Structure 1
């Protein structure tokens, strides 16, 4: 059987079967990846990299990912805007991630397990930022396995982020297309 080789580190290829795609459902992201990460920060997944999203611009994220062609997944610690506050810092050097719409509840067997927040990247500073086509879905634990119920400090709040770039019609840009449309 042939194997597809993806590089998740400069010198260690990841062996995958032909046609392999990583497309977990919202519920799978919460229960199989985020929950274990919250319970043990040393947990790692073959397909999900750890990244500080406040230090990386969205157009650089595909190259920080372990895998992905049209969407990329990352574990990230939510950064607080103020040390004693609850507001999340979502700014980078070039812009900021702005929440849009209402958070979506994620259930497993009729039990609330997490929430999904949609964010869009804006270049510049609020309130005059310029909207881009970069989109992020941020997944966090909620319900009986939420951070409050796990007795963790608010500073140690892991989330999973799914990042992609939209083109007209709501479709996602393939990684090869990013070379042509690098950062706009």
Structure 2
């Protein structure tokens, strides 16, 4: 029996020190697939939301860190065809970034079990909104997984379950390195040798700006 202090709104609330950090395979196989097929979940830890009625900064479950949600979206057959897709939100929209990437299950011989789409949140009306630092990794089941269902209604349905990982993009590594070196330079007393003190900081830093893509978006 679940302890009452670890339950909130019917969901498991992790005790201090515990973090929910599933792999992509676990997220798709153990949670999304079970949700889509109406199977019991390993834990009632991922809430359902309607992304169309919320902004990313208004999401439940507190502030900061990664957040996971189930969302019943329009199926791929109902979405507009094209390389870029949009999903409406309360004060903006989510815009896809690049192509969907496969999610493979190593426990099943690297079988294709799902697809991952990276999306960025824009404030305002599409396609002229202003870009924000909010990122969403949206995972959907592959057609192979849907075919495994005992009912074909999932394929014919106009809606499909997806699981979303939403977070704020991290600051660039260059900025963090500069801040760290700046603090260290002010904390360590200067030595009598000017050459040795100046050698503590190198100016040979990469000029590459942080880009939002499928690999860097993952925390």
TM-score, length basis structure 2: 0.63
Structure 2 gaps of 5+ residues are 174-219
Aligned-partner Cα distance in 2 for 1:16–1:168: 27
Residue 79 of structure 1 and its aligned partner are, at CA, apart by 3.1
User: Is the Cα contact below 8 Å between 2:95 and 2:119 reproduced in 1?
Assistant: yes
Would the alpha carbon gap of residues 45 and 52 (structure 1) be closer, same or farther in structure 2, given more than 3 Å must change?
farther
The structure in which a higher percent of residues are strand is 1
Aligned-partner Cα distance in 2 for 1:45–1:31: 13
Aligned residues: 159
Moved more, 87-96 or 52-61: 87-96
Matched residue, 2:192: none
Matched residue, 1:71: 66
Aligned-partner Cα distance in 1 for 2:52–2:32: 19
Which of 160, 168, 172 does residue 169 from structure 1 map onto?
172
Residue 14 of structure 1 and its aligned partner are, at CA, apart by 4.2
User: Is the Cα contact below 8 Å between 2:71 and 2:161 reproduced in 1?
Assistant: yes
Would the alpha carbon gap of residues 32 and 144 (structure 1) be closer, same or farther in structure 2, given more than 3 Å must change?
same
Partner secondary structure for residue 25 of structure 2: helix
Matched residue, 1:130: 130
Question: Superposed, which structure 2 residues align to 1:2-151 within 5 Å?
Answer: 8-9=8-9, 14=12, 16-40=14-38, 45-61=43-59, 64-65=60-61, 69-79=64-74, 85-87=78-80, 90-108=87-105, 109-146=109-146, 150=149, 151=152
Structure 1 gaps of 5+ residues are 171-184
Would the alpha carbon gap of residues 17 and 56 (structure 1) be closer, same or farther in structure 2, given more than 3 Å must change?
closer
Question: Superposition RMSD on alpha carbons, in Å?
Answer: 2.9
Would the alpha carbon gap of residues 38 and 125 (structure 1) be closer, same or farther in structure 2, given more than 3 Å must change?
same
Larger Rg: 2
Aligned-partner Cα distance in 2 for 1:44–1:125: 38
